[in-house]
Chain A
Amino acid sequence: MEHQDCRRLLGSLSDFVDGELEAEICAEIERHLAECPDCRVVVDTLRKTIYLYHVSSQETSPPEGVRDRLFRRLELELKSEKES
């Protein structure tokens, strides 16, 4: 990652993997990737990083008791506000 192009393009890689870049910059990055194995590793591992977080964030539901304690607290506080 010492090449000047690597540094310049670094800030665009996140948009690049999201497919949110203008065609011109996209083509420039693709040309650079074709000749820079280090940046290819950065892009591939960046994609994989995002993928792993997407997968690991999918199956979380609040632990048991959270819902009941929430409703109990709301009931208590809102009741005391009404009374005061």
Chain B
Amino acid sequence: MNSSKAVEELSLEALRKGDRSEFARMVEAYYPMIYNLSYKMLGDAQDAEDILQETFLKAYRHLRDFDGRSSLSTWLYRIATNEALMFLRRKKPEQISIDEPLETSEGEVQPVQIVDWCCLPEAELLSSEARAHLDQAVEKLPPSLRVVFVLRDLQGLSTQETAAVLNLSENAVKTRLSRARLRLREELSSYYGERLSERGGA
């Protein structure tokens, strides 16, 4: 996940013994990755910062129990995703969306939007308004799908790494990723479809 030299040189032994300077090096190496994950999960800078701080506090307190079976980054991602999911649960304990998309018997979202917006120019597809819409679409995903999408498609983890972080089977990761992507495709098709018809192209 992170192959920089600084990360490779971190001493697990020193970390487990509570060596503060080694811990500071670990924080330095991994804080951008954990902040990005938290921000993409929560969509709010202050909340993301809180999760970032809690993650490293927890990491420090539990480093002596870290058995090294997974990589440090997987372990940190695991703490951060747990913190973010708990935060979402506390914030919206009974989140029920009134416009949940229709699902097939296999749990996939039935495509409703059949409009080919791929031809829109890149500048329009990635305008600041469009980017805000991309973020909002992710925030609409249920947390169980969002976390898989964020790890796989936004943070760039492999299926295997995502499965290790979330303690899921690789098949479960693939299924959730598929559902998340189809829902996002649906959201984006609705948004870009409107842009297309404004251009008189639909």
Interface on A for B, CB 8 Å cutoff? 1, 7, 10-11, 13-15, 20, 38, 41-42, 44-46, 48-50, 52-57, 60-63, 66-67, 69-71, 73-74, 77-78
Contact = CB atoms under 8 A, between A and B. Distances in A.
Contacts, number: 112
Interface of B: 20, 24, 27, 31-32, 35-36, 39-40, 45, 49, 52-53, 56-57, 60, 104, 106, 108, 110-118, 125-126, 130-131, 134, 138, 153-155, 159, 174-175, 177-178, 181-182, 184-185, 188-189
B118 A48 contact: yes
Given A48-B118, A63-B45, 11 more contacts: A11-B178, A14-B182, A38-B111, A44-B116, A46-B181, A49-B185, A56-B126, A57-B36, A57-B155, A60-B39, A74-B27
A41 B116 CA distance: 6
Contact of B36 (A15, A42, A48, A62): A62
The interface residues of chain A, by DSSP majority, are classed as helix
B178 A52 contact: no
7 cross-chain pairs, A with B, having the tightest CB-CB distances, nearest first: A14-B178, A57-B154, A62-B35, A49-B185, A41-B116, A1-B111, A73-B53
Given A42-B114, A42-B185, A53-B184, A78 B153 contact: no
6 contacts: A14-B181, A52-B125, A60-B36, A60-B39, A62-B35, A74-B27
